[in-house]
Amino acid sequence: MSSVSLVDHRGRPRVAVTGLGLVTPAGDVPDINWKQLLYGESLADRLGRFDPRIVGKDHLAACEIKDFDATPYMSARDIRQSDLFAQYALVAAVKALHQAGTPSDKGRVHAVVSASAAAATESWSTQPAVFHGGGPARVAAMTIPLLMPNAPAQLVARLTGRNGPCLSVGTSSASGTTVIGEGARLIRDGSCDTVLAGASEAPIVPVMVAGLARLGTLSSNATPSLASRPFDLNRDGLVLSEGAAFLHLERMDHALSRGAEVLAEISGYAQTCDAYHLTAPHPGGVGAAACITAAVRDAGLAPADIGFVKAHGTSTKLNDRAEATALRLAFPQGPPPVTAPKGVLGHSLGAAGAIEAVTAVLALRHRTIPPVANHTTADPEVDLDIVTEPRSIQPAPVLCNSFGFGGHNACLVLAPPPNCR
């Protein structure tokens, strides 16, 4: 421990990642998720949760979680009183805490920070129908708690006994990255010793799908497994997904003193806003580039120090090109290799950044960049080093990008643990 600096270049406590937990269409085991990413095979299938014709589509692809069961983690009563997005969060958070071990409570402050873009879509969809069909007496008595954006944070805090700060974040599809950065900030500023930080989403309900279809953001590819193709010339939209991921963050000195395994380090974080458009990214990528530059600077690094980029990579025309432009601005010497997990896992909106942060930690641990699924034809307007086969790397920091409606930009720099550099 004495050979490891416990503060960063600005004198702030260093932030260790000591636990990972997730729930995705690939399952709830990180290693199984990793193997799926490494194979580079999409999990998209035909939408099965409801008939796509009710939202005006003959066919739609989706990445759905099947056979989810929260009963090992929650009582029947808590399940009844929790929307699906909160249940996903609780399972992911408990798994992250289990891997981290149980930090000592003596003199420690333990926080929970959760995020979502769409929040309780299941309850928002069903309860108005219940009201209009049966009147106020048929509305669930716990409707308001079900609908709260902070429902996952309170559920995780209550069932894990963490009584420090308990916060919720909403920055559209940047939420999952924002929440990890804000969790790290709580540790850096001395407010907390440990933080369970993560995001969850369960958006595959008719009204959400109809809204995204009306915006023209969903892929219309008739072959589901080929529908999500980040940065590919023939991409035509995103594939909606769902799930949750939480990371257990703690002060580096705390982690090392208790003998915890440090999986990675949160070394840089930044957030900006395009202040440009409600749904479209700035075509010049200036807000995103500023966010990337600020995150790398916050980590005390130069652009050349970044080993690879975990891109937002939604598989939409505008977002992929805007992100590519931003990367070229932020890396004037040429961007490092780029991967994008949404080709395999789809786009889980607010949860995506947290799920993909877990995949970035796994990439660091395995010293391998996973490929972008379905990338077969280069887009000349993208002009990036897109990873299309698993690529071995030496330990180096990874840049994680997330961008969302409203011009929200959030970037993290994840560094290998001290013993891997």
pLDDT tens digits, 47-95: 999 999 999 998 999 999 999 999 999 999 999 999 999 999 999 999 9
The whole-angstrom separation of Cα 379 and Cα 361 is 28
Does residue 250 lie in a domain region? yes
Instruction: Select the more confidently predicted residue: 56 or 183.
Output: 183
pLDDT tens digits, 204-240: 999 999 999 999 999 999 999 999 999 999 999 999 9
Does residue 183 lie in a domain region? yes
- C-alpha R_g of the chain: 20
Does residue 151 lie in a domain region? yes
325 Cβ contact partners less than 8 Å away, ≥ 6 residues apart: 283, 284, 285, 289
| Side chain identity, residue 64 | E
- Looking at every residue in the chain, the average pLDDT score rounds to 95
Q: What is the pLDDT at residue 1?
A: 46
**3-state helix/strand/coil string of 369-388:** ECCCCCCCCECCCCCCCECC
Does residue 263 lie in a domain region? yes
pLDDT tens digits, 355-388: 999 999 999 999 999 999 999 999 999 999 999 9
Does residue 6 lie in a domain region? no
CATH number where 175 lies: 3.40.47.10
pLDDT tens digits, 248-263: 999 999 999 999 999 9
pLDDT tens digits, 106-147: 779 999 999 999 999 988 888 888 888 888 888 888 889 888
User: Mean pLDDT across the stretch 337-347?
Assistant: 98
pLDDT tens digits, 241-299: 999 999 999 999 999 999 999 999 999 999 999 999 999 999 999 999 999 999 999 99
Q: What is the pLDDT at residue 372?
A: 98
Q: What is the pLDDT at residue 131?
A: 87
Q: Is the pLDDT of residue 413 over 90?
A: yes
Q: Is the pLDDT of residue 35 over 70?
A: yes
Does residue 4 lie in a domain region? no
1 Cβ contact partners less than 8 Å away, ≥ 6 residues apart: 253, 256, 257
The total number of structural domains in the chain stands at 1
219: nearest Cα among 33, 45, 382, 25: 45
Q: What is the pLDDT at residue 420?
A: 66
Does residue 21 lie in a domain region? yes
Does residue 1 lie in a domain region? no
Q: What is the pLDDT at residue 421?
A: 56
Least confident of 7-11, 110-114, 286-290, 415-419: 415-419
Domain residues for 267? 15-420
Alpha helices in 261-351 (DSSP H): 286-298, 317-330, 342-345
Longest alpha-carbon distance in the chain:
67
Q: Do 260 and 16 form a contact (C-beta atoms < 8 A)?
A: yes
